[in-house]
Amino acid sequence: MSDKLKIGISIGDVNGIGLEVIIKTLADARILDYCTPIVYGHTKVASFHRKALDMGEFSFNVINSPAEVQGKRANMINCWEEDVKIELGETTETGGKYAFLSLERATNDLIAGQIDALVTAPINKHNIQSESFHFPGHTEYLQERAGGQDSLMFLVSEDLRVGVVTGHVPVTEIASKISQESIISKLKLMNDSLKKDFWVRKPKIAVLGLNPHAGDNGLIGNEEQTTIIPAIEQAKASGLLVMGPYAADGFFANGAYKNFDAVLAMYHDQGLIPFKHIAFENGVNFTAGLNIVRTSPDHGTAYDIAGKNLASEISFREAMFAAMHIVKNRRESAELTENTLAFGKLSRDRD
């Protein structure tokens, strides 16, 4: 039995670039030296995309469950039987329906422990909405499925790690959703993830302000004085190494982020715009704070280039390696903790 990790992959919107970046990643057989990939979708849909990419030599090994994987092949589980109408570059109900069927089946296997991690290709957050999926995005869906009280949208790369207090919420609601409690919760999740998932011994975290110039001492908004600074002080009192609040523009422009292990932004675009600029194609979206491991590329469905063989697979490949890295770090951390506890018990017994 192979000891390689089983990495599940959901295909995302069938009309986007999800299957393109998946196939391009898995077509490089070197990935099979590190993991056993299992794609949740359908061979007919994959064949359509393969032909669009003119990759005639590539094929999947079809299985019914993760227990049947072949370690030297890219595997696929067919999640439906009917034919699917693919309209590359279009936003359709079909795209959302089959994105969800793929995600649901993969998540079921992830929670059941049949796969070690999940890498999700991009969905369209509008057309995937249904009675079964009523979430702003993957992060919130997986948090509920995994039974988590909270989670952190954590964008990671070699050069920068950024988390957000508020994720997929309208700009008009951001300020009302930021509280001392929410900031402290995200800081604790970030700190724990840096230690457990990335093996940062003593994480140093920067916190951004909400308002321009971090409020300018109350001249441009008072959330820094009433909410963010008290949260930082409370986090420091609990033992976290946290600094701020920093004005976002200058913080990224002058390279101050290089002095920290991670940055907590107040809202989605405040953190993701500089992250995507700095990380270029290497960024990965990681859902931190859950007992499962899920990563994704840091781009969307890219309908405008779907089917044109223009999509780069770099971010998706990085997401696969990040998932493997995090799973192994967690297991080694758990083993180290178990050994430490066992040694402590042995010492006490001898005393």
What is the DSSP track for 290-306? SSS-EEEESS---GGGT
What is the pLDDT confidence band of residue 193, given thresholds at 50, 70 and 90? very high
| Residue 141 and residue 157 share a domain | no
Structure confidence by residue, pLDDT tens digits, 279-295 = 978 899 999 999 999 99
Q: Which two tokens stand for residue 286?
A: 């990681």
> What are the b/e assignments for 331-343, b being 16+ CB within 10 Å?
eeeeeeeeeeeee
Strands 284-288 and 294-297: antiparallel
The rounded mean pLDDT for the chain is 93
| Residue 201 and residue 78 share a domain | no
| Residue 28 and residue 13 share a domain | yes
Strands 152-156 and 161-164: antiparallel
What is the pLDDT confidence band of residue 54, given thresholds at 50, 70 and 90? confident
> Which among 152, 136, 142 has a CA at the least distance from the CA of 263?
152
| Residue 120 and residue 2 share a domain | yes
| Residue 135 and residue 20 share a domain | yes
Prediction pTM value: 0.90
User: Is the confidence at residue 257, as pLDDT, over 80?
Assistant: yes
Distance of CA 286 to the CA centre of its chain: 2
Q: Could you list the residue range(s) of the whole structural domain that residue 279 is in? A: 150-285
> Which among 326, 215, 188, 194 has a CA at the least distance from the CA of 260?
194
Residue type, 253: A
Pairwise CA distance, residues 250 & 32, whole Å: 43
180-202 average pLDDT score: 97
| Residue 254 and residue 340 share a domain | no
Pairwise CA distance, residues 163 & 9, whole Å: 23
230-234 average pLDDT score: 97
What CATH number has the domain bearing residue 181?
Answer: 3.40.718.10
| Residue 231 and residue 330 share a domain | no
Would you mind telling me the total number of residues written for the chain in this entry? 351
Q: At which of 247, 266, 285 does a domain end?
A: 285
| Residue 308 and residue 222 share a domain | no
Q: Which two tokens stand for residue 213?
A: 């110039």
What is the pLDDT confidence band of residue 343, given thresholds at 50, 70 and 90? low
Distance of CA 259 to the CA centre of its chain: 23
Least confident residue range of 71-75, 155-159, 277-281, 291-295? 277-281
| Residue 279 and residue 169 share a domain | yes
Q: Which two tokens stand for residue 235?
A: 């986090």
Q: At which of 232, 252, 285 does a domain end?
A: 285
Q: Within 13 A of 34's CA, how many CA atoms are on the CB side? A: 17
Q: Give the angle subtended at the CA of 80 by the CAs of 77 and 82, to the nearest 5°.
A: 135
Q: Within 13 A of 221's CA, how many CA atoms are on the CB side? A: 13
Contact 8, 110 (CB under 8 A): yes
Q: At which of 238, 263, 285 does a domain end?
A: 285
pLDDT at position 271: 95
Tell me the range of 1-10, 211-220, 291-300 where mean pLDDT is highest.
Answer: 291-300
Contact 220, 260 (CB under 8 A): no
Pairwise CA distance, residues 255 & 251, whole Å: 6
| Residue 262 and residue 165 share a domain | yes
pLDDT at position 266: 97
pLDDT at position 1: 40
Higher pLDDT, residue 194 or 344:
194
C-alpha distances (whole Å) from 53 to each of 17, 19, 46, 136 are: 11, 10, 11, 31
Q: Domains in the chain: how many in total?
A: 2
| Residue 144 and residue 2 share a domain | yes
| Residue 144 and residue 163 share a domain | no
